[in-house]
């Protein structure tokens, strides 16, 4: 058996605009998806996921992932998650030149599905890494990221950036602009996450922004302004640790930029009442800044607050189901067995 894990992420800045070639800065967090893979002596794929849905599910099928029956797979988000597992299987078969390889796969995840924390990227990255290693091929993290991007793109019909998959594969804070992906230095940020218990449909939200841009030319200015926020934010994060910067002032300015970014995402129509109320609860509790993270529509917000105030306020905010502090994940894909 081969086991890999990969982290989820929050977007400090730049989601949606990244789809149009602007830069984005996601940051990996210590909430992981773990995938265990054992090669079989037939071409069947058997997937067991105990915590991707309320009751868990097991599905087994033969040969190509195109032949997978939908029976046993709960509809909606879990069906979508299975799409990423199928795509990861195909990438591993391709990488190891083993088109008929069969696998027993177990997926465990601490990352809520479709909530803006990069659950699909983490499952895809960990799945490709574990399955390729199980077949005797070990790829560098960048190659796993590239294959995971192609897997996600196939599932999301071309509407995916490299941001989530690269961040999950290499860990830390990263900067992604088109095909140019790299790690950046970032200070230890006091990240707090609020989760409304819901989810957004990434494909639909991305299409909604595209439609708005087609209808109103000036929406393109909003996308560009998000790019400017990212460029300003990354300079701030990446600034020389030797330089004479006041750390608290730097984090406060990152927070201002996150507030600005949330306002622009709101204007693009991707926020929601519960996301806005968590953002405002965080700001009123004294957070340096707060914004939605990921595609939006529902799911999570990210705030910066070194004190316990935001965490406590979120826990009492109607519409917030869970709030937690998230440590930066400095490792991306982790090889456990």
The residues that touch ligand PMV, with contacts defined as CB under 6 A, are 15-16, 18-19, 116, 118, 160-161, 163-164, 202, 206, 294-295
Annotated active-site residue in 164, 179, 185, 201: 164
Q: Which is nearer to ligand PMV, 127 or 294 (CB)?
A: 294
Q: Which is nearer to ligand PMV, 223 or 333 (CB)?
A: 223
Nearer to ligand PMV, 76 or 99 (CB): 76
Query: In the bound complex, what is the minimum distance in angstroms from residue 307's beta carbon to ligand PMV?
Result: 27
Q: CB 295 → ligand PMV: shortest distance, Å?
A: 4
- Residues 95 and 139: their CA atoms lie apart, in Å, by 9
154 is in an annotated binding site: no
Annotated binding residue 6: no
State phi, psi for 72 to the nearest 5 degrees.
80, -20
> For residue 124, how many other CB atoms are within 10 A of its CB?
34
Residue 318, class by beta-carbon neighbours within 10 Å (0-12 exposed, 13-18 middle, 19+ buried)? exposed
Residue 8 backbone dihedrals phi, psi, to 5 degrees: -80, -175
Residue 120 assigned ligand-binding role:
yes
Q: 309, 292, 310, 313: which is closest to 301 by C-alpha?
A: 292
112 is an annotated ligand-binding site residue: yes
Q: Please identify the residue of the shown chain whose CB is closest to the bound ligand PMV.
A: 294
256 is catalytic: no
Q: Nearest approach, Cβ of 199 to ligand PMV (angstroms)?
A: 9
Residue with tokens 């079989």: 40
Smaller CB distance to ligand PMV: residue 36 or 202?
Answer: 202
Binding site as annotated, residues for ATP: 112-122
Binding site as annotated, residues: 112-122
Residues designated catalytic: 164
């Amino acid at each position: 058996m081969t086991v890999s894990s990969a982290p989820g992420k929050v977007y400090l800045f730049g989601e949606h605009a990244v789809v149009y070639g602007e830069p984005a800065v996601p940051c990996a967090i210590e909430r992981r998806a773990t995938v265990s893979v054992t090669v079989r002596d037939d071409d069947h794929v058997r997937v067991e996921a105990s915590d991707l849905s309320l009751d868990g599910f097991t599905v087994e099928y033969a040969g190509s992932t195109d032949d997978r029956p939908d029976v046993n797979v709960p509809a909606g988000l879990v069906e979508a998650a299975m799409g990423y597992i199928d795509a990861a299987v195909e990438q591993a078969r391709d990488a190891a030149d083993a088109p008929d390889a069969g696998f027993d796969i177990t997926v465990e995840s601490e990352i809520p599905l479709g909530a803006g924390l990069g659950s699909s990227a983490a499952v895809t990255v960990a799945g490709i890494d574990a399955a390729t290693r199980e077949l005797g091929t070990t790829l560098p993290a960048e190659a796993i990221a590239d294959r995971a991007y192609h897997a996600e793109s196939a599932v999301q019909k071309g509407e995916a950036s490299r941001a989530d998959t690269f961040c999950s594969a290499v860990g830390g804070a990263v900067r992604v602009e088109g095909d140019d992906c790299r790690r950046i230095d970032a200070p230890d940020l006091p990240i707090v996450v609020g989760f409304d218990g819901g989810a957004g449909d990434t494909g639909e939200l991305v299409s909604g922004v595209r439609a708005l841009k087609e209808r109103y030319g000036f929406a393109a200015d909003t996308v560009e302004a998000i790019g400017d926020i990212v460029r300003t934010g990354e300079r701030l994060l990446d600034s020389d640790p030797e330089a004479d910067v006041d750390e608290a002032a730097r984090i406060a300015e990152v927070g201002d930029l996150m507030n600005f970014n949330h306002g622009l995402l709101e204007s693009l129509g991707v926020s929601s009442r519960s996301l806005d109320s968590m953002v405002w609860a965080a700001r009123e509790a004294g957070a340096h800044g707060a914004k939605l993270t990921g595609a939006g529509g529902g799911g999570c917000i990210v705030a910066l607050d070194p004190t316990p105030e935001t965490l406590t306020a979120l826990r009492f905010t109607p519409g917030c189901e869970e709030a937690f502090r998230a440590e930066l994940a400095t490792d991306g894909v982790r090889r456990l067995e």
